Structure 1
């Protein structure tokens, strides 16, 4: 597999009802087309050789004989292919007729799986023709001269890569309270293929799509669904040709319904990611499989992918859909305020102390604090907002900080830390012109000494402002800005902080506050611990030193959320940032990420409390427990062995 991916396809062919030869010709064409797209699997709709809507023609010997003849035709004309095709057809066995999915590869039948749940309500009359799959008596069936596995207890496992295992279910099987795919997943299937004939009525489209997505999520699996198209009989119902590819609750690809043309959609399922999620979710196997399965071996086609069909968000913490993003921002802001509100009530504190630099993080933290005080009915004047100019403070950030605090109606204090820092340099014998790490950290610790002392004096809580990205990279001063009484931004990455501030600016403040918030959004990210340049502008730009936050947030997301390897993260980043960063640039910053992530764990091991808002948190009490003295060599060596 290419970095743990398999490529799957779902097809909606043109057909003619009961014209098996015509239908088979189109199936063969689409199998070859799917393989040309480097798909390793392709699934077709239910009863795709005959068409689903044949009615009582299923009792005709001619159509049953012809469907098997055309299956042999498919085998003959795909003998030189490696792709696994899942084809629907009626199969005779044990004095009964079954609605089946047939798995074929390279001219051979891998196995036959009958539909379990046969609908006989409303517009569905399948009970008139087909027996439920659980009625089978035989473990094998003879089809096209081959004796092949037959039954509802069949899974298919790649003999050359045991990580890939697939199961089949057919249409109605998905719509029952506990679908067969649930048991298949517990028995090891991470790919589920559904051959379906789901007609269209008002409201069914969204319900069906959500059903597929939800089942993929419950099973922590890839789910590939193909339903019959517009050429089915329209005597009483209409079929739209709905094909869906989903993975663990997310939609990867979807066909256009009611198309006059055949449909073939393609995407990749991340088998490695699914395996990681299943292992991480220790509840997944709590209900052990209540059914034993035969695992039929097959050969996973060897395909190397360059560009993937599926898309990867550059900013995985930030939804690309504006509506979803707005709702997400509203929810995150509510989680932050409720978390801080609970801590204020528990401690009985009526005051808060917060440092305001004119940067993004402290801006968001103050917005959260103001909203919390409003929610608790506490006066905003009880928020002691302090700006503390240092050696690197510019007029831009200073003015932004002052205007922002005024617009929020909080108690404003200004304390110049330079005299205290100069005295401290003298006390410890540090050259004031030596702009090293000591020069920077003295300022950060001086600021937080002030904050904690004032908090002690007025009985308040120090509100932390640092974000998730800074914690991941250790871009904070130990026992300086690293520390607080409650850290409201601790699980919010830098890329999301920007959107949260913008969302508040657009939705929750007056025009004067909105104007200053937009000015803050336009200011380069900087700790402002080194003197400005000759023009008085910010010289110490964080992203010039440690790399673009959008890259580091991407690395962090895929490493922590999915346990992705360095080579895979590099591969995904190339896909997501194609045209923006070269492979060499991404690789270089990825090395920086790993070095800093491992070396800075000691700071994360003693984080103050703060609310988890998303799937990733680095709190040592919650999502991330890592020894501070772990070595990064394994990850760095893998990167070194990758050629540019």
Structure 2
């Protein structure tokens, strides 16, 4: 047995600008770490403020209040005896930095600014901060008076340095730095750093955890070391869900792992590690030779030991050994991530519950099933004794009944979810109406079945009264313009009705104090990408848990939930043909989504990934699909599909500027408001240079085939 020490990392459910709440969770995590014997505690990135403050990071108030929270931590003597790695923003020489503040016994050891900032996709860190572009450089930081009078010094070191304790050496890495080619842990490890801390604000996306894990494992697999990964968890006020999964890794092997999706506000992960195992792991001569030429870090000497003894055997201390990685399947990720995000949004918004326009189709079915999944998670948290969840449930769902507590997810769902089927006499089938009713019964939602014919006819007849013209559906001889306008009336009436009901149902149900419900949207990412939705229809809502999830993944989720949640009714949604039911049903015509769009949902998913993730324009996409679809379609058919997609993408792009804020899940989301920044007024693609080049390429291929006689 070598030199043992207990280290702690954590996932905190922080909330942007929730100063006192964030401080409370930080202190609780430190206390829990100490109770478990830890002498080093690592927290998430920007945990004092919450990661998602966005442009608030440009306000001086944020930096003032951050120091006030820091002072509260420095003054609290119950937090002594452990090195605290804390995340907060700091202004130094009129520049804003994303920093780690390392603390011990009420003293600041080091302020370590982030070297490489996240500045793509959902992240805009260089809008608020600047990177510390001076590796291995430190200088004096002049403390604000409120901090200087507590710590007893005027300046502390700021910069890229490491902490040298009596028994080991600690270096910091922050989120994006792990993902960069020249990650700091490489040089730090060669320079003798044995413990690496990584404080992150990393969001959930489907299948993303595998990438993160592989990078963390690789960080110590080559060079050895103990790696502590901390992350925020939950919805901190924006579209993102931070998915926790705090971990401790030793020499490329996981020895402790926290939850990825949880309703816990504070989760501390500890591990007993042996620092001598790191030293043994690093005996390779090649590493030793490289270490001699690696950059040198200034070491901040600390009269403190992380290990509790000099190697004496303690039968009560159990060394953590390698364990298997716990990874959720994508179907589970969908079930858990958006559900936890919904719960955070509900409890923090002080709303009274949710309302879903339930159509009988798979999209609104998925949204309702996610609310039911949320109720299942809440029930599990109640059974485990989660006092925070218990308090939130009492406030949101007890309706003034002091002794009320839900016994089943359905009972909770009945208090939190209202579903409304808004049908039309000639457009809505009995099958969709029945499916909606049966799903509501299965999950326990408070369900309303109604028709909107009167409102639809009143709106339609306004045009007739004013102009004498009566529009008709296409199946009755009307034009495309008439057909589309009549469909849009229905869709927009449903949006207005949903908000009316959301404001009044609590009063109707005689809920004490009334209240208002949050309207949930049900447009999936592929429909947003194609623009296959009506602007300001039921895609317009307060929040949308499926707005960044593909139809393909939603079907996989519903198939999984059918058995996992014991909801056999869900199979009927999988078997049904996707339809908006906005046109009259006749003996020989039923509206079909895929027929309307001219492409399948699977093809839309492919177009989305090539456009966003592979960064391909129309011509590049055509060239790629010539190979990928060579056994399915002719070159001309591929060209037609690519041009059709880009044509409708372009003319409907404006819709994304008003889309409901959606849980971020797919990396090809067309979310215009932050993730996918592109124009919303495009030149006509059918007249574009790229389309002409596609047509020329098709003609070349066809002429070549004619000449060679190939098929």
Output the TM-score relative to the length of structure 1: 0.46
Structure number with larger C-alpha Rg: 1
Output the TM-score relative to the length of structure 2: 0.42
